[in-house]
C-alpha cells in the first residue's frame, strides 16, 4: 500500500529539546549559566516569574521519557549537553555526575533504538565565561573548543550526529540587539562580533570533530525566508538585506565556508566589520558542515523602510527594512506567529539550488499554544490544531523530497511541554503534556497521530 505522502526510506522521526529547558537539577550538581544569573537579577522578566529551576525534570525522569519516545515511534531525538553541567565554570575539570548522566541518556536512547543527535550549545553560556565577555572574548572560543573536544571524546563512540550550535542568531538578537536574553546589551557592533566569533567557534569544533571522529557534524539554524512585500526594487532590496543579516550570516559560512560579499560590503560601508584574525578565513573555508538542521517556525515579511533612520542613531540591522504584516496571513493565534507552511519548501529548494543540496532535516518546527488545558477531553489534550500544523508542513516537506531535496527527517519542537526562556511555560509545544505540580506526563492526541505516521513512514491526506 502506498500512502499519499510516503517519506524517503530511513526518514528521521523525532523531536528536539535542550538541556536548560528540560533537565532541571542544576543546584549543586551543575555549574550556573546566564539564565540562573538573569533570573536571580530580574525574575519579573520571566513569564509568571517562573525561572530555569522549574523544568520538566528530565534529569530524573529520562528513562520514562525515552520509553515514551519509543512508544510514539521516535527513531531519533536531539538533546543538548549543558556545557555548565559537563564542565562547571566552562573550563577545567569535568563533572563526573554529568558524564554519568549523559552516558546513561545516550545508552538508554540507543537501547530503545533511538539515535541520539547531540547539540553542544543551546543558548546556555556558563556564567563565568559570560563574566569575561562571553562570545565577544576569543578566550571563550578556546574554552568552547576544549569543551567540544571533551564531549566528542566522551560520547563520540556512540553519538554519530553532532551539532555545534542551536540557532546562533538568537543569542545575538536577544543578548545584543533586542534585549530578550542576558546580557541585555543593545549594540550592533558588539552583536556582529558575537555572531562572527560564534561562527569561528563553530568552525573550530567542526575541525576538531573531523580530525578525530567518524560521524557527521552540523549546525542548527532557524532559517526565516524573507519575503518582500512586493517586487518593487526597494522592497526586494529590503528583503535581501534582511536575509543577509538573519540567515546568510550563518548559513553561508557554515555550508559554503565564506561570508556573502554583499554582507561584507554593507558592513564595511557602515564601519561595522568585526575584528578578525588572519587564519579565520581558511578555518571557515576548510571546515564546512556535513548536515544542516533547519528550525522553521515562521517567515519574515519585509518592506522598504518608510522613514529613513536618524543618521546620528547607532547602526542597527533594522535601518534597512521594516517588518510587514501581510493582510490575510494565517496566524497561530495562540502564539501570535504567522503560519506559512510553504516556507519549509522554499527553504529546502534554496538549499538545493544554492547550497549544494546539503543533507538537511527539519530540526524544529512546532506550534506553541497558551492555556492548552482548555482542550482537555477525557483526560488528554485533543490538539487537532497541532496535528493539522504538522501535517501541512510535512506535505510541503514531502514535495521538497519528491523534487530531489536531500531532506532526511522531521523533528518536532518538542517532545514534552517545557520551560522556555523568558516565556517559561506560557506556550506549550509537546507531544506530551507535563503536570507542573506532579511532573506526570500525558500523551496528547498528536502523540498518537505521530506514532502512526512514524510507523508507516508517511500518511494519507
- 124 lies in the binding site for ligand BG6 (CB under 6 A): no
Residues of span 390-419 touching ligand BG6 by CB under 6 A: 413
Close Cβ partners of 96 (under 8 Å, ≥ 6 residues apart): none
423 is an interface residue for ligand BG6 by CB under 6 A: yes
Using CB under 6 A as the binding rule, whether residue 363 contacts ligand BG6 is answered as: no
Residue number, 30 or 55, with CB nearest to ligand BG6: 55
C-beta of residue 168 within 8 angstroms of C-beta of residue 229: no
DSSP secondary structure letter of residue 421: G
CB 370 within 8 A of CB 336: no
Beta-bridge mates of residue 13: 410
Cβ-contact 93, 3 below 8 angstroms: no
Residue closest to 255 by CA, chosen among 296, 285, 215, 298: 285
Q: Least distance to ligand BG6 from the beta carbon of 368, Å?
A: 4
Binding ligand BG6 (rule: CB under 6 A), the pick from 243, 364, 372, 417 is 364
Residue 409, helix vs strand vs coil:
strand
Member of 36, 108, 136, 167 binding ligand BG6 (CB under 6 A): 167
What CA–CA distance (Å, rounded) separates 154 from 254? 25
Q: Is 36 in the site for ligand BG6 (CB under 6 A)?
A: no
In angstroms, what CA-CA distances link 241 with 80, 228, 252, 300, 364? 31, 11, 14, 12, 25
CB closer to ligand BG6, 300 vs 303: 300
Work out which of 247, 427, 433, 454 binds ligand BG6, going by CB under 6 A: 427
CB atoms within 10 A of CB 196: 22
SS3 247: helix
Residue 420 sits in the site that holds ligand BG6 (CB under 6 A): yes
User: Of 23 and 167, which has the nearer Cβ to ligand BG6?
Assistant: 167
The binder of ligand BG6 chosen from 15, 18, 33, 68 (CB under 6 A)? 18
Does residue 174 bind ligand BG6 (CB under 6 A)? no
Q: In 42-134, which ranges are continuous DSSP H helix?
A: 58-71, 83-86, 96-111, 127-130
d(CA 419, CA 329): 29
Q: Is 368 in the site for ligand BG6 (CB under 6 A)?
A: yes
Judged by beta carbon, residue 228 or residue 430, the one nearer ligand BG6 is 430
Max CA separation in the chain (angstroms) = 66
Q: Which is nearer to ligand BG6, 228 or 368 (CB)?
A: 368
Instruction: Show Cβ contacts of residue 129 under 8 Å, excluding neighbours closer than 6 positions.
Output: 89, 90, 91, 137, 140, 143
| Shortest distance (Å) from residue 125 CB to ligand BG6 | 14
457 binds ligand BG6 (CB under 6 A): no
Binding mask 191-230 for ligand BG6 (x = CB under 6 A): -------------------------------x--------
Our CB check for ligand BG6 shows the closer of 21 and 406 to be: 21
Positions marked active-site: 364
Q: Does 166 bind ligand BG6 (CB under 6 A)?
A: yes
Binding site for ligand BG6 (CB under 6 A): 18, 21, 166-167, 222, 295, 364, 368, 413, 420-421, 423, 427
Amino acid at each position: 500500500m502506498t500512502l499519499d505522502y510516503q517519506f524517503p526510506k530511513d526518514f528521521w522521526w523525532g523531536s528536539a529539546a535542550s538541556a536548560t529547558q528540560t533537565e532541571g537539577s542544576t543546584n549543586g550538581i551543575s555549574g550556573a549559566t546566564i539564565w540562573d544569573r538573569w533570573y536571580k537579577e530580574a525574575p519579573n522578566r520571566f513569564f509568571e516569574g517562573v525561572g530555569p529551576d522549574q523544568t520538566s525534570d528530565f534529569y530524573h525522569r529520562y528513562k520514562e521519557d525515552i520509553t515514551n519516545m519509543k512508544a510514539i515511534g521516535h527513531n531519533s531525538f536531539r538533546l543538548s549537553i549543558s556545557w555548565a553541567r559537563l564542565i562547571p565554570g566552562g573550563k577545567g575539570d569535568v563533572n563526573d555526575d554529568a558524564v554519568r548522566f549523559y552516558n546513561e541518556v545516550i545508552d538508554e536512547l540507543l537501547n530503545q533504538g533511538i539515535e541520539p543527535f547531540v547539540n553542544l550549545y543551546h543558548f546556555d553560556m556558563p556564567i563565568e565565561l559570560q563574566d569575561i565577555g562571553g562570545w565577544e572574548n576569543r578566550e571563550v572560543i578556546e574554552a568552547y573548543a576544549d569543551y567540544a573536544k571533551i564531549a566528542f571524546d566522551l560520547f563520540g563512540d556512540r553519538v554519530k550526529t553532532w551539532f555545534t550550535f542551536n540557532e546562533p542568531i538568537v543569542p545575538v538578537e536577544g543578548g545584543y540587539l533586542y534585549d530578550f536574553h542576558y546580557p541585555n546589551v543593545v549594540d550592533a557592533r558588539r552583536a556582529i562580533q558575537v555572531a562572527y566569533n560564534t561562527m569561528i567557534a563553530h568552525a573550530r569544533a567542526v575541525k576538531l570533530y573531523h580530525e578525530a571522529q567518524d560521524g557527521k557534524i552540523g549546525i542548527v539554524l532557524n532559517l526565516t525566508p524573507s519575503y518582500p512585500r512586493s517586487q518593487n526594487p526597494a522592497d526586494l532590496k529590503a528583503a535581501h538585506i534582511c536575509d543577509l543579516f538573519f540567515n546568510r550570516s550563518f548559513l553561508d559560512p557554515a555550508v559554503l565556508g565564506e561570508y556573502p560579499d554583499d554582507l561584507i560590503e554593507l558592513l564595511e560601508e557602515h564601519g561595522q566589520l568585526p575584528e578578525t584574525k588572519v587564519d579565520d578565513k581558511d578555518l571557515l573555508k576548510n571546515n564546512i558542515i556535513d548536515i544542516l538542521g533547519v528550525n522553521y517556525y515562521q517567515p519574515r515579511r519585509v518592506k522598504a523602510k518608510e522613514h529613513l533612520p536618524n543618521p546620528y542613531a547607532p547602526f542597527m540591522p533594522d535601518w534597512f527594512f521594516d517588518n510587514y504584516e501581510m493582510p490575510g496571513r494565517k496566524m497561530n493565534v495562540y502564539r501570535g506567529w504567522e503560519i506559512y507552511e510553504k516556507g519549509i519548501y522554499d527553504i529546502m529548494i534554496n538549499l538545493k539550488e544554492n547550497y549544494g543540496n546539503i543533507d538537511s532535516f527539519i530540526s524544529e518546527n512546532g506550534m506553541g499554544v497558551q492555556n492548552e488545558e482548555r482542550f482537555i477531553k477525557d483526560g488528554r489534550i485533543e490538539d487537532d490544531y497541532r496535528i493539522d500544523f504538522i501535517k501541512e508542513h510535512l506535505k510541503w516537506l514531502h514535495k521538497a523530497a519528491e523534487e530531489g531535496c536531500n531532506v532526511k527527517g522531521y523533528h518536532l519542537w518538542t517532545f514534552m511541554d517545557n520551560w522556555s526562556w523568558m516565556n517559561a511555560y506560557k506556550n506549550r509545544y509537546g507531544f506530551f503534556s507535563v503536570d507542573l505540580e506532579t511532573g506526570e506526563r500525558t500523551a496528547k492526541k498528536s502523540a498518537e497521530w505521530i506514532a502512526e505516521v512514524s510507523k508507516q513512514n508517511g500518511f494519507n491526506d
